Chain A
């Protein structure tokens, strides 16, 4: 889901960066994929009413939110928080978790209230969703290049697939660690002045 120049965005004022933890990714992502977001919300609501599938559906939505992190922002936006590479990475990950978990609160409550006996699945959902978002952030910044088009090597795609196909999950976990280290080194090239 890279940027499409011919595509119109939803310009509603209720989507504000201030409400999304100052995240340009979530602001732009919600505007660009507005219809997809509403369709996903509808599907997740339906799944929350069914036994067992509510939390797995929320987890798939977390993997889909990784699409917000496919495009590279301009350097001016990257430097806006004036943070060092490691601090910026931590902030980006925490913001991704904050936005995802805040937006999923109504669906979580609905799933728990509709089927209290399967609420234990939330214990697996929360860490796995957090891990999928962590992977999306570090994979983006491991390959970040301002002005350049987004590169998505085959390994990165396999890593993303690992969050949907358990057989590839060990690869995803290994790549998460590798990309986290590489992302900090990569961002240091652009943010060394903020150390």
Chain B
């Protein structure tokens, strides 16, 4: 076993900042939708939601820059290799104490399911939310200049809300799966400190 920095400083900052922003956007977003809580007050919730949307966009721009300059974007390329095994692991193996079918190493820290999930998150859920959110925000201007029918706003809102529900479901699954590491807190600790213990062979295979 060997301890290495699996998640670099920016990566951790990006992850937790994004988590905080998205969580607050969930709270404010569902507040203005009127699901029942009143944490910020409507007007402040709307203002905060919009400010956070811009903040998230800025963060995403930096993250994209980081991913491309470091080459880390390759970590998210979906693969079918070991996909079947991973599914089998979560469906049955995990209950029997079977070993994790994919070993982490520095250049492949995500298993095929993670790759799929995070790839989907990045190219589907986030773009849908950003786009529908921007259309929502600028709807009065667009409706005015493009002459959109009133039903357009309904469609935009429904897409945005369904995306938000999807994000909540994603968050639940995501948080649960962090507990499937060596111990329930192993993965979260790694995401906080960056350090993770990898098995030697995995490390040396790569080097």
Bound pair (A, B): no
